[in-house]
A and B are shown apart, each in its own frame.
Chain A
Amino acid sequence: MSIIELKNVSFWYGRKTPYEIKALDDISLEIEENSITGLIGHTGSGKSTLVQMLNGILKPDSGTVIVDGQDIWAKPREIGKVRFKVGMVMQYPEYQLFAETVREDIAYGPKNMGLEAEEIEARVSRSIAFCGLTPEILEKSPFDLSGGQKRRVALAGIMAMEPKILVLDEPAAGLDPKGRREILSGIRKYSEESGTSVIIVSHSMEDMAMYCDRVVVMSHARVLANGTCEEVFSNHKMLFDAGLDVPEITSIVLAMRKAGLDIPENIYTVDGAFSALKSLYGKGGQN
């Protein structure tokens, strides 16, 4: 089942001016429900434009955007409603914190949705738990927190709106490796337990390979590939041509094949490489 469907979507910046740039070129794309989809592509490939299509921040010049079975531009006046359905976490969302306490900041979205106080309270508690935060933090000022904590609070604020689809632009940028792992595995857990479909935009092939079910590759305003991690990361040439890379471990696997080791080429995680080597050579196979 697809939760999002783009049909022949095109979009220009500065259309009919001398600065016209085609940012999306006749894109048709389906995003699967209950899955984590990674969106990769070089700067200027159209990733950010694409995600801004999903909750109606931008309107396509042609084509249709269908979210959860509905054409979001069927009634343009009601476009605001799609924003409760598609939660968007921008890059460096911690810069958007504003309230006096963490509790108020996280409750802001649900309050605007017109929910009852009790329900809001329950959502605040649930969302901080997913983000690895404890209740003590709720009475603090968001501005007294560390960068990593602020990021989590900002994320919790969107999760508390319980959107059906959560879109995150570089959620782990600037975090240390441990912080990256915590926030990405938190998102993974949230998606699995709540059934939320998640789209993550990232430049890290390693993170995509580890935390996503599927990957969409964009290049020059078009979708080059849309498939499982295995399908996409085994297509090395396509990735290199798109100005991207394969995960480091895939490069090592390719080098091992070149060196004559009998290892499959469609490996994109350290676990995968280890298991393959173990089953091939672990029981004293070669030496």
Chain B
Amino acid sequence: MSLPLIKLENVSFSYPESEGGDNSFAVKNLSLEINEGEFVAILGHNGSGKSTTAKLINMILAPNSGKIFVDGKDITHKDMSEDDVFEVRKKVGMVFQNPDNQIVATVVEEDVAFGPENLGVPSDEIRKRVDEALEIVNMSEYARHAPHRLSGGQKQRVAIAGTIAMKPRCIIFDESTAMLDPIGRKEVMNTILRLNKEEKITVVLITHYMNEAVLADRVVVMKSGELYLDGTPSQVFSEPEKLWQAGLEVPQSVELMHRLNTELGTKIPLGVYDFDTVAELIKNNI
């Protein structure tokens, strides 16, 4: 059994400006392991600690207590040097919500090259990485374009390429589809799936969209800074009441099957299925 790529042990964090009281913890006593190659979705209400957790893993924030390991290394250790921090961010990349805040250059390929340049990668290697990264996100034909003329989904894919070019082992997407239209969201989700399945990059996807979470291998639900549910999408979404209590919702298919079960007495096994399977299950049980 290999080591988990990311491991949190009893991690707590409170923002300095919040005063006293137990409620002030943004993340409370959180223990979580993410294995190499996994695709984990993190769900939770606003303020549940999702984004704080991402920032802790990426060393943007440091926990008040508890330990965090990335690739076996204790990143909460007091002797972490600046180079060590760099090393962690190279392993765990992040893509944020607003593509406009993440693009720095005036030409797509220069933007993608920005990360590896800062890592001191030799220039012929940078060329190779940029081309590969744009290929993976399906944006090669836009290499010489100006980012500000691209659509939201395209910009977000450029931001992803910039992260890939740093060769991370894991990418954390913090609501990276929230500002996109349905087509843009599909483009980005397809890219994320490809990164995970083909490029074998570990993916942590923070989202409010249940239909994105169902695509993950595993769903982690946070509530008020704590770990609330952890399982496969089918396991997590087969408990609608628990999700509703956490201020979340279930896919409409699950909601319908749940209502049929509770109000019409059908016994449809709840879970996450494609539309045709849902239809068959309802047909056979009603």
Contact = CB atoms under 8 A, between A and B. Distances in A.
Given A174-B179, A178-B45, A249-B253, 19 more contacts: A42-B183, A146-B46, A173-B179, A174-B97, A175-B46, A175-B208, A176-B48, A179-B45, A179-B247, A203-B182, A205-B182, A249-B252, A251-B275, A252-B278, A255-B278, A256-B282, A259-B279, A277-B256, A281-B286
B247 A177 contact: yes
Interface in B227-286: 247-249, 251-253, 255-256, 259-260, 263-264, 275-276, 278-280, 282-283, 286
B152 interface: yes
A258 B278 CA distance: 12
B285 to A, nearest CB: 9
Nearest to B210: A177
Contact of B178 (A174, A247, A248): A174
B252 A146 contact: no
A15 interface: no
A18 to B, nearest CB: 14
The 4 closest A-B pairs by CB, nearest first: A178-B247, A255-B279, A255-B275, A259-B279
Interface of B: 44-48, 97, 151-153, 175, 178-184, 208, 210-211, 247-249, 251-253, 255-256, 259-260, 263-264, 275-276, 278-280, 282-283, 286
A256 B279 contact: yes
A274 B253 contact: no
Nearest to A180: B208
Residue among B47, B48, B253, B256 having the largest count of chain A Cβ atoms under 10 Å: B256
A34 to B, nearest CB: 29
A249 B250 CA distance: 12
A17 interface: no
A270 B251 CA distance: 10
A261 B183 contact: no
A247 B252 contact: yes
A14 B180 CA distance: 25
Interface in A250-265: 251-252, 254-256, 258-261
Contacts of B259: 270, 274
Interface of A: 42-44, 146-148, 173-179, 203, 205-206, 243-245, 247-249, 251-252, 254-256, 258-261, 270, 273-274, 277-278, 281-282, 286-287
A205 B183 CA distance: 13
Given A176-B247, A261-B279, A252 B286 contact: no
Nearest to A174: B178
Nearest to A19: B149
Contact of B252 (A174, A175, A203, A270): A270
A252 B44 contact: no
A95 to B, nearest CB: 11
